[in-house]
Amino acid sequence: MYSIEIKAESSLTPELAAQLIELSQQIPELDHPLTNDVLDQRLQGKTCLILVAYVEGELAGFKLGYEQEEAIFYSWLGGVASDFRRLGLAQSLLEYQETWARRQGYNHIQVNTLNRFPAMLNLLISNQYLITELTADPKSLVDHKLYLCKSI
């Protein structure tokens, strides 16, 4: 059994940004690794939750989200490094985020994904997220964008 720890932060520090940028480079699904500018644009000045997962003290995964509207929390981005998959980290991060959001008074969590990420889609559906909208990509079925929401 591995030692798994999830740390939660409510603001982005330079050290935390560096960790997230480093980790994003280990997640093959992320076409564009995170940058300081992207992190600042999405998280600075907003009520946010930054979750970082460690396995045996090693950086392994993250989940980022922020307030979209008064009662809606947006789960923006997350991932688990290839070396740490199949340990239940994505599920643990999702559960932590849901519990935190509920305790903060949010009623819904919204998330977007693409058809090309079936593992993420399966995780969301198995956790009672419902598809609320679809934006079709006329060039590729795998790039259809799915919008999901869960009442918490």
Q: Does residue 55 have a pLDDT over 80? A: yes
The DSSP line for 40-95 is HHHHTTS-EEEEEEEETTEEEEEEEEEEEETTEEEEEEEEE-GGGTTSSHHHHHHH
Q: Which residues contact 59 (CB under 8 A, 6 or more apart)?
A: 19, 22, 23, 52, 81
The predicted-structure confidence for 91-136, as pLDDT tens digits, reads as follows 999 999 999 999 999 999 999 999 999 999 999 999 999 999 999 9
Q: What is the pLDDT of residue 32?
A: 85
Residue type, 1: M
pLDDT in tens, 56-74: 999 999 999 999 999 999 9
Compute the average pLDDT of residues 18-26: 96
Give the CATH fold of the 4-151 domain.
Aminopeptidase (3.40.630)
Both tokens of 150, joined, read 């869960």
Domain locations along the chain: 4-151
Predicted model pTM = 0.94
